[in-house]
Chain A
Amino acid sequence: MSRRRQLAALVRKDLRLELRTRETIVAMVLFAIVMMAILQFGFGTRDDDLTRFVGGLMWVTLAFTAVLGVGRSYVAEREQRVLDGLLVSPVPRVVMLGAKAIAIFLYMTAVEVIVIPLVGVFFVQGPYWDAIGWIAIAALLANACIALSGTLFSGLALFTRARDLILPVLFLPALVPVVIAAAGATHAVAGGPHDMSEWRGYCLFLLAYAILFSLVSVATYDAVFDD
């Protein structure tokens, strides 16, 4: 049995479900926009330049948006009671992890296609658009971190009764280093001269975090589903 074929089938299934229901991505985008509006009003008017806070504002918004998306990652399996069908099939648990992580990565990327430009509109008065490529690279690395850690924690929370409470309690602390690094990388390039050495350092940290969580996930995911 080809793991690649299994992985592709599971990712295709998640994308088909999302295309048909349009529940997760739409909710994530709306949530992120509302949160940015709240932050904008919370900080004051557009006259105040929020450029120096832009990294934090963007990544706090995206972190909470990620909690929303990750929390919905097993909703179809849970509500439609399909999980046993997947678990009784000969799919390695790590392939299930990989498929969910890819789906979350794609959802986050879709949200950021809208959110990252909007951040420039909401919060930045200085130069921003020339930095968007560097911000996007940092965002892709952060998405890998979010997807890998989020999949692991949503799998852990899946078998608990208070899963909707447990997931944010587990997941948000794990996101703190990601928010710090992604916000730092964004701050390094947005709104003024680019500090590429600072940006590079934060991106390397995100890469290391993603590798670490992929190793932890591979080592533990069988136990999450089989015990």
Chain B
Amino acid sequence: MISARGLVHAYGERRAVDGVDLQVDAGERLAIAGPNGAGKSTLLRMLATLLRPRAGHLTVLGADVADDPRRARAGLGYLAHDPLVYLDLTARQNLELYGDLYGIPDRDGRIDDLLDHVDLLARAEDPVRAFSRGMAQRLALARMLLHRPRLLLLDEPHASLDARATALLDSELGAARDDGRAAVIVTHEVERVADVADRLVVLRAGRVVLDEPTAGMDARAVRRRYEEAAA
């Protein structure tokens, strides 16, 4: 699903990501953690094709992102800090827009199913501006899942979700593992990693300092390994 070799990205002279190697296979859920400024979000934006690597080689969903980023984008689902929806459009109009951008067949049926899934069907015709933060994030979840992406990229997904959306996201991550999709989750909430990811990668100063499976670890063990690596 993802193959990265020697990825580099710099802001001016400062290297935010400095020679990262990463392999993510189908059905795998990878958590990326690290202190502030470690390069987590920059790395995720490169995986999402939103930032071009300054050096290194990146393949996402079989597409070399330097040559054919659109092929990679077609199979990506990206959940960011912001819901990435227009506040002055209704929930349905936002999903119609993304449905057309991704060329989804049976767009309207899929939108109804997803709005029902995220408990927003009754508010489908309301502008997003009238939504609470939690509702907007649930709509963002529907937006991310609309085109049935094979690779989920999530940036601090639990930071702004309400309890309902958190349960939906966690169940979606479980389903992703079961049906062979992959997920990369950038997180500060290391205690959650054991529940939502199969592997933990810790970044420090743009470099990978830990990359190991979380199988058999509980939240405390994950926290301990993280703190040892990030120190």
Residues of A within 8 A of B (CB): 1-2, 5-6, 8-10, 12-13, 16-17, 20-21, 76, 80-82, 84-92, 226-227
CA distance A1 to B82 in the complex (A): 26
Q: Are B84 and A226 in contact (CB under 8 A)?
A: no
Given contacts A20-B88, A82-B84, contact A226 B52 (CB under 8 A): yes
Report the Cα distance A71→B118, complex, angstroms.
36
A96 nearest CB neighbor, chain B only: B101
B residues neighboring A (CB under 8 Å): 48-50, 52, 69-71, 73-74, 76, 78, 80, 82, 84-89, 93, 96-98, 100-103, 127, 143
CA distance A1 to B93 in the complex (A): 19
Q: Complex formed: what's the CA distance from A6 to B86 in Å?
A: 17
CB <8 Å contact, B101 and A92: no
How many Å from the CB of B76 to the closest CB on chain A?
Answer: 6
Which of A6, A81, A87, A88 neighbours the largest number of chain B CB atoms within 10 Å of its CB? A88
**Nearest neighbor of B76 in chain A, beta-carbon distance:** A88
Given known contacts A1-B103, A9-B101, is B89 in contact with A81 (CB within 8 Å)? no
Most chain B CB inside 10 Å of its own CB: which residue of A82, A89, A91: A89
Nearest chain A CB to B100's CB is how many angstroms away?
3
Are B85 and A76 in contact (CB-based, < 8 A)?
no
Contact among B82, B86, B103, B127 for A13, CB-based, below 8 A = B86
Given contacts A85-B84, A226-B69, contact A17 B89 (CB under 8 A): yes
- Residue of B at shortest CB range from A88? B78
Expressed in whole angstroms, the minimum distance between the Cβ of B25 and any Cβ of chain A is 22
Which of A2, A16, A86, A226 sits near B93, CB closer than 8 Å? A16
Contact of A16 among B48, B84, B85, B89 (CB under 8 A): B89
Complex: A20 Cα to B93 Cα, angstroms: 12
With A85-B98, A89-B73, A90-B73: A227-B52 Cβ-Cβ less than 8 Å = yes
